[in-house]
Amino acid sequence: MTRNAALYGFNDRGSLEVGKRADINVIDFDKLSVGSPVAYKDLPAGGTRVMQPVTGYIATYCNGIKIREDDSDTGARPGRLVRS
């Protein structure tokens, strides 16, 4: 378990082991690039959020489920908000 996970009492994450939660990025470093930030005014009460497009991610997994593939959203939402 990593020190960060242990510090906040997250005993079910922090290392790649059977039965533990994990978020994993598979990256093609030769294609990795970061675009300019873009502001979107689409939050409740007119709030603004800033997104920064990135390319070069082959896949992103959350708790063993692929949520992004070749820089595109798969629509899967296995994650959840965690508060400590």
C-alpha atoms less than 13 angstroms from C-alpha of 41 in its C-beta half-sphere: 2
Q: In this predicted structure, what is the pLDDT of residue 16? A: 85
> Which among 39, 35, 41, 1 is positioned nearest to 21, based on CA atoms?
1
Read off the pLDDT of residues 69-82 as tens digits, 9 standing for 90 and up.
Answer: 999 999 999 988 87
Query: Which segments of the chain have a pLDDT < 70?
Result: 1, 84
Query: 3-class DSSP state for residue 48?
Result: coil
d(CA 61, CA 53): 18
Nearest to 76 by CA among 27, 67, 48, 45: 67
**Residue 65 in tokens:** 């489920």
Q: 45 φ, ψ to 5°?
A: 60, 25
pLDDT given at position 84: 62
Q: Please tell me what DSSP assigns to residue 72.
A: E
